[in-house]
Structures are given as structure tokens and as C-alpha cells.
Amino acid sequence: MKIELICTGSELLAGKVNTNAAYIGSRLSAIGFELSLVINVGDKKQNLLQEFKRAFERSNVVITTGGLGPTFDDITVETAAECLNLEICPDGKVLNSIKEYFLKRSVDSIPKINEKQANIIRGAKVLENSFGTAPGQMLHFKFKDSGKKYRKTLFLLPGPPEEMKPMFEENVKPFLKSYSVGIKKNGVLHVFGIAESTVEEMIKPVMDEAVSGDSKSVELGILASKSVIDIKFSVSGTDELLVDETINKLKLGFGSVLKDNIFGSDNDTLASVAGQLLLESKKTVSFAESCTGGNIAAAITDIPGSSSYFKSSVVTYSNESKMKLLGVKEETLANFGAVSKETAKEMAESVMKLSDSDYAFSVTGIAGPGGGTKEKPVGLVYIGSADKKKTESFKLNFNGTRKDIRKRTVNTVLDLLRRKLIVKHSY
């Protein structure tokens, strides 16, 4: 089955990241399908009409996101109808649901412009939108190609992810699952602390063993972002027991060679894993941040329940604040500079004492793009680590943009914390 995705919106052609395509692609993969093509098209009718015609010719299922709103540039419904030579009719039930949506928000009458969203292609099934005014539509139709007629299916989904995702899960996914043949299961492991090429070399024997013998198909992908490496793998087959067995063998095999460099699986993050370990050990942590500007604290507090183990974070960007708030010695800054192991150690020790936490980490560095020297280049970062027994410092040199350097620093601190807490962890 060929499934194609058309994402509408001129903003997608001007640099906006298409998160809808990433979501739909991953959700299809989870049920054994894949997108054959993703098209971004602007809000011009002729362009969209052309893409619809091409998609209907080559794909069995066409999914669209965007263009269901009330404004003049929301043209998906009328363009699809024109391409299929079908009428558009106002739907009374949809109109009432739009009115109720506004009434719940203390708007007495539906804005005239929103009445357009009640227009439904003749023969289409309305897909309820619980989070917005734009209903989705599902249409089965016959498309004539080279003298033959082929049954096709069109899904029109809203563009905002918070509206698109539940509509996809409630309508598109069940429809496609009914056509699924065989079984496909996916897994992902997250790695930190070793290079992407090293990961690939280490897990190759595990993969070679997994793909040999038996009636199954194994796929592998390795993705790296800000020093975090994702090992994505999928196993397909007709025997669910064999598929599950292979998935488990892969996880055990990867774990045996990568060991504690694996920090989690699926939706785990460095922050969530470190937080869980703090919770389980009943320990607390604090941070003193310079070049990261509070991003470590932001990562930790993104996790629900982090108040149980996170004490505080002090952002001391200037030398004055390092001295006044953390008590970093003036002679330390004068002799070694703000970006130094000595300053990092004093920052970590001080914030641990101030917050009375079990662990403390500090960061001071040069994120760039300016400010670097031959002795202290852009990307140089010192991390201080303190606990009740000892204080350490780590010197690191990161590359990339300012944002990259800051993110790599955050990830490294969280991984150092994780490794301090970890005793024995296997996946």
C-alpha cells in the first residue's frame, strides 16, 4: 500500500519545521507501514491541485495536513473537491458543533468566517475535532487512471499538531491497521558517551546475528544529535513470538556491548532518567550555570515531579555574580579566569553548600560565536562536580553553533549526574 502525505502551508516553504510529517511517519512505522512520499506545498491553488492529481495517480492513501481553517488561504477542501469533480455541501451538524465550540469560550455567535469550515466534500465522512473548529474528512473514491478505476482513500487533517495527532490516532491509524499484513515492532535505545561511528562498529556483530536465519526482516538506523545517539531498530515477520524474541535479543545484545553508555529507551531522556535515579536513591541536586544560562535547570524541571529532587539553580553569568552569589574568590578569577577548572570547582562546591543538596554541578565556558582565544577557544567548557566526598572538574571542547555547544553541555552534565547515581542498569 502506497501512502503519501501532502502538507500544506506556505510557512513550510519558508523554513518552518514540518513536525507533522515526522509524527505521521513514525506512527505509520509503528504499525508496519511507511510513507512513500512527503510533499510540502504552499497556499496556491494551482500548485496544490497539481500535487493532488499526482498523488491520486501514484498512491492508494493520501493524507493531507493543513488548509482546513477559515481564512482565504485555507484551500485544501475546495481544491480536493475540484480535483475529484465533487461538490461541497454545508453540513448542519458540523456548523452546530462549531457554534458550540465558540459558546463554550463565551463567544455568543459564530464568526461568519468560520462557517466555511462546515463545508464537507460530498460523500466524505466527517472526522470530529475535539480541540479546534476544523473538522477532518475521510473520503473513499474511485480514481480513473489509464482507463481503469482504482479505489483510493483521502484523509484531510488539520494542521495544528494538537488537533492533527488525536484525529490521526482515532481515524487514520485504525483504518490502516485493518489492512496491515504481518507484524512489525520497533525499538529505540538512547546512547551517550561514545561516538556514532564507534556505536555502529560495536553493535555490528549483534545486528549480523539478528538478521541471519528465520523468516523475519530486521532494519536498523543510527541517528546522532547533540552527542545523544539513537539506535532505532524494527523487526517484521508473520510470527509474533519470533518478532518479540528478536526484539529482546537485540536489546540484550546492544546492552552487552554498550553497557552503561545506554541511558534509556523509547521516550526516556537524560533528564528523565537522571531524575528517576535521584528519586529512587532519595538524593537531591543543584546547579550553578554560566554559559548554559539556566538550560540545565529547565531540562530538569521539564520532568513532572522534579521538585522531589531538584533544589536550585543559580545563573551567574558575570564575574561579579560569581563572587557575590557563589563566593568565588576574586584571586581565582584573576589568576585562572572565569572559564577554568578552579572556577568551576568553586562554583559547584558553593552551590552545594548554599542549597544543602547531595550533588551539585557547575558549568562555565565559551559558547561563542565570539569571545574565544587561542588558549581558550570557542567551545571550551569546564564542568564542576561536587558531592559530600569530593569535588572534580572536567574539561571539554565542543564544536557547533552557540546553541549546539550549550545543548551538548546540558546533556553532558545530566549524563555525569546519571553515571554518579547508576549502580547497575540494563535494558
Domain residue limits, the chain? 3-178, 183-265, 270-421
d(CA 24, CA 30): 10
Residue with cell 523475519: 216
CATH tag for 3-178 (out of 3.60.21.10, 3.90.180.10, 3.90.79.10, 3.40.980.10): 3.40.980.10
- What fold, for 183-265? Alpha-Beta Plaits (3.30.70)
Assigned C-alpha cell, 341: 577548572
pLDDT value for 426: 41
Give the pLDDT confidence of 222-279 residue by residue, as tens digits.
999 989 999 999 888 888 898 899 999 999 999 999 999 999 999 999 999 999 999 9
Closest C-alpha to 186, from 227, 149, 234, 232:
234
Contact assessment for residue 90 and residue 33, using Cβ atoms and an 8 Å cutoff: no
User: pTM of the entire structure?
Assistant: 0.76
Contact assessment for residue 5 and residue 63, using Cβ atoms and an 8 Å cutoff: yes
pLDDT value for 303: 97
Long-range contacts of 89-96 (CB under 8 A, 24+ apart): 89/119, 89/120, 89/122, 90/115, 90/118, 90/119, 90/120, 91/118, 91/119, 91/120, 91/126, 92/118, 93/126, 94/118, 94/120, 94/126, 94/135
d(CA 162, CA 132): 9
Walking along the chain (427 residues) 10 residues at a time, the average pLDDT comes out as 96 94 90 91 96 96 97 96 96 93 84 94 96 96 85 97 97 91 85 95 91 74 93 88 91 96 95 97 97 98 97 97 98 98 98 98 97 96 96 97 97 97 60
pLDDT value for 216: 64
pLDDT value for 179: 84
Longest dimension (CA), the chain: 86
Domains 3-178 and 270-421 share a fold: no
d(CA 274, CA 303): 10
pLDDT value for 104: 86
pLDDT value for 283: 97
d(CA 78, CA 46): 12
Per DSSP bridges, beta strands 61-65 and 3-8 are parallel
- What fold, for 270-421? Maf protein (3.90.950)
d(CA 230, CA 262): 10
- Helices (DSSP H) in 212-329: which residue ranges? 240-258, 270-281, 295-301, 319-326
Contact assessment for residue 380 and residue 397, using Cβ atoms and an 8 Å cutoff: yes
pLDDT value for 215: 57
